[in-house]
């Protein structure tokens, strides 16, 4: 756990918490507006959350080589998350076009 400084840990952990909060708020926004497209964006954010949690896990155990698969998983979840967030954003955009 000493691979990162305390301020860096604060940034890592707060980023994960902020991402979780953003997912929850977007889900609530879908409830409030009745626009289900926002749920697609919320779901689309989950792989990026997994990616962030992989980074925290890797650092928590002091970056051991035997956990190198976590780095691969993080990279894969980043790619998947970028795609799923793009698709979620597209759903939101499309739903806005249908209203207009």
Q: What is the pLDDT of residues 9-49, one digit of tens each?
A: 999 999 999 999 999 999 999 999 999 999 999 999 999 99
Total residue length of the chain: 100
Q: What is the pLDDT of residues 47-75, one digit of tens each?
A: 999 999 999 999 999 999 999 999 999 99
Residue 1, pLDDT > 70, answer no
Phi, psi of 32 (to 5 degrees): -65, -35
> What DSSP element (H or E) covers 61?
none
- The DSSP code sequence of 5-22 is -HHHHHHHHHHHHHHHHH
How far is it, in rounded angstroms, from Cα 37 to Cα 48? 18
């Amino acid at each position: 756990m000493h691979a990162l400084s305390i301020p860096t840990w604060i940034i890592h952990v707060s980023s994960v918490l902020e991402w979780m909060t953003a997912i929850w708020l977007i889900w609530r926004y879908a409830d409030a507006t009745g626009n289900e497209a926002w749920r697609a964006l919320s779901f689309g954010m989950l792989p990026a959350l997994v990616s962030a949690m992989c980074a925290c896990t890797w650092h928590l155990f002091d970056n051991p080589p035997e956990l190198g698969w976590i780095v691969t998983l993080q990279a894969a979840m980043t790619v998947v998350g970028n795609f799923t967030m793009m698709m979620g954003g597209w759903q939101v955009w499309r739903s806005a076009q249908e209203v207009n």
